[in-house]
């Protein structure tokens, strides 16, 4: 004969156990248009639009002068949950550096968050070769760059340690307009690097940090494909 027992637990105890096994409900944004940055007389104007938002309580706009160390520049309220196109703007009144890096954090109701790509504005001049956006410059595997070229050309690239040692090098072919490239960083030793791009008699330099997978930020950046 088999005996069956039913154990009843208080609701508060059940709630406690459910919180132990629950996972953060990260905010989700699908962008209709990527972030655009325009320099004005009073500051940098950031604009973007979303196609869909899930539990997106607010955006935190962060700014950096090196693409790695970011500080809060402001907050813009999100739509929460939305299935229609929504447009946002933020004016950064703090100006000074010629090149500035921006990214957006998407915060959910439980204060967990994900990060967008990084976007660049360079007010020095409009060059023939320019990095317009990139994945996080803290990476464990891949580095994705969006590069604008005014002509079809070839570029060289190299990854250089802080001691000047070249760890990796190669070539890429650019078409006129925007080009998206992915670089494999999985075999690079952890540490700081300069990524140097050369082409069409111009040079672009960014700094990245290779880290362990456990040290990676939560990245989430998706643009609606029309």
Alpha-carbon distance 134 to 37, whole Å? 14
User: What is the pLDDT, as a whole number, of residue 223?
Assistant: 82
Q: Render pLDDT for 49-107 as a digit per residue (tens, 0 to 9).
A: 999 999 999 999 999 998 889 999 999 999 999 999 999 999 999 766 678 999 999 99
This model's pTM is above 0.85: no
Domain spans of the chain, in order of start: 1-124, 125-219
DSSP tally for the chain: helices H, then strands E: 1, 16
Assigned token pair, 104: 């957006």
Give, in degrees to the nearest 5, the angle at Cα 29 between 220 and 86. 150
Q: Are 51 and 30 in contact (CB under 8 A)?
A: yes
Average pLDDT, the chain: 85
Q: Which two tokens stand for residue 68?
A: 């790695």
Predicted confidence (pLDDT) per residue in 23-56, tens digit:
456 778 899 988 999 988 889 999 999 999 999 9
Domain 1-124: assigned CATH number: 2.60.40.10
* 125-219 and 1-124 share a CATH fold: yes
Mean pLDDT of all residues in 124-142 = 85
Return the bridge partners of 172, or none: 155
pLDDT band at 122 (very low <50, low <70, confident <90, very high): confident
Give residue 95's pLDDT.
67
**Does the 125-219 domain belong in CATH 2.60.40.1930?**
yes
């Amino acid at each position: 004969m088999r005996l069956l027992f039913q154990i009843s637990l208080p609701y508060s105890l059940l709630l406690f156990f459910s919180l132990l096994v629950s996972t953060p409900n990260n905010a989700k944004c699908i962008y209709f248009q990527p972030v655009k940055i325009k320099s004005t007389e009073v500051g940098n104007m950031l604009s973007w639009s979303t196609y869909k938002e899930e539990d997106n309580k607010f955006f935190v706009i962060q700014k950096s002068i090196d693409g790695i160390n970011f500080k809060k520049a402001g907050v813009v309220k999100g739509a929460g949950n939305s299935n229609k196109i929504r447009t946002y703007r933020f004016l950064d009144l703090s100006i000074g550096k010629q090149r500035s890096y921006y990214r957006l954090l998407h915060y959910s109701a439980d204060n967990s968050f994900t990060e967008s790509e990084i976007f660049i504005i360079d007010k020095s001049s409009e060059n023939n070769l320019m990095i317009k956006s990139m994945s996080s410059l803290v990476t464990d595997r891949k580095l994705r760059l969006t590069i604008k070229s005014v002509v079809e050309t070839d570029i060289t690239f190299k990854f250089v340690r802080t001691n000047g040692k070249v760890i990796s090098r190669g070539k890429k072919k650019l078409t006129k307009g925007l080009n998206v490239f992915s670089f494999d960083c999985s075999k690079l030793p952890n540490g700081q690097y300069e990524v140097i791009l050369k082409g069409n008699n111009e040079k672009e330099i960014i700094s990245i940090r290779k880290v362990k997978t456990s040290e990676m930020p939560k990245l989430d950046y998706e643009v609606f494909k029309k």
